[in-house]
Structure 1
Amino acid sequence: MIHSGGKVVQPGKWIMDSGASDHMIANLSSLKNVKKAPFNFNIKLPTGDTTLITHIGDIVLEGGLKMLNVLHVPGFTHNLLSIYKLAKDNGCDVTFHAAICMIVDYMSRKLRGVGKLTNGMYYLVDSTAKEGIKDQLKGQQLICVTCPMKKFSKLPYPQSSSRAKERFDLIHIDTWGPYRTGVKVIRSDNTLEFADGACKRLYASKGIIHQTTCVFNPQQNACAERKHGKFLEIARVLKLQVVFLSCIGENENGTWDIVTLPLDKQAIGSKWVYKTKYNPDGSIERYKSRLVILGYKKVYGIDFTKMFAPVAKLTTVRALLAVAAMQDWIVCQMDVSNAFLNGDLDEVVYMKMQLGHTGMGSRISVSLDS
Structure 2
Amino acid sequence: MKIVGNRWLFRAKYKSTGEIERFKARLMIKGFMKIYDIQYLEVYSPVVRQDTLGVSLTLAAIWDYEAHQMDVTTAFLNGEIDTELSMEQSEGYIQEGKEDWVFLLFKSIYGLKQAPHTALRDRKKKEEEKELLTAKSKAVEEKWTSVNSGHFAFV
Under a length normalisation based on structure 2, what TM-score does the superposition of the two structures give?
0.54
Specify which of 25, 28, 40 is matched with residue 304 of structure 1: 40
Deviation, structure 1 residue 358: 4.4
Q: 2:103 maps to which residue?
A: 366
1:347 aligns with 2:68: no
1:293 aligns with 2:29: yes
Residue correspondences, number: 105
Q: Which runs of 5+ in 2 are unaligned?
A: 108-155
1:331 aligns with 2:76: no
Partners of 2:24 and 2:44 in 1: CA distance: 25
Deviation, structure 1 residue 290: 0.8
Higher relative contact order (CA 8 A, sep 6+): 2
Letter in 2 for 1:292: M
Partners of 1:329 and 1:287 in 2: CA distance: 39
After superposition, give the CA deviation of every residue in 1:27-72 in whole Å (9 maximum; x if it has no partner).
xxxxxxxxxxxxxxxxxxxxxxxxxxxxxxxxxxxxxxxxxxxxxx
Deviation, structure 1 residue 269: 0.5
Deviation, structure 1 residue 330: 0.5
Deviation, structure 1 residue 343: 1.7
**Residue 87 of structure 2 aligns to a residue in which SS?**
strand
Partners of 1:322 and 1:276 in 2: CA distance: 38
After superposition, give the CA deviation of every residue in 1:137-181 in whole Å (9 maximum; x if it has no partner).
xxxxxxxxxxxxxxxxxxxxxxxxxxxxxxxxxxxxxxxxxxxxx
Letter in 2 for 1:353: Q
- Rate the CA distance shift 1:321–1:274 in 2: closer, same or farther, 3 A: farther
Deviation, structure 1 residue 303: 2.1
Q: Give the helix-richer structure, 1 or 2.
A: 1
Partners of 2:97 and 2:53 in 1: CA distance: 49
Deviation, structure 1 residue 289: 2.0
Letter in 1 for 2:96: G
1:273 aligns with 2:20: no
Partners of 2:54 and 2:23 in 1: CA distance: 30
Letter in 2 for 1:339: A
Q: Which runs of 5+ in 1 are unaligned?
A: 1-264
Under a length normalisation based on structure 1, what TM-score does the superposition of the two structures give?
0.25
Counting aligned pairs with the same residue, the percent is 33
Q: 1:86-235 to 2 correspondence within 5 Å?
A: none
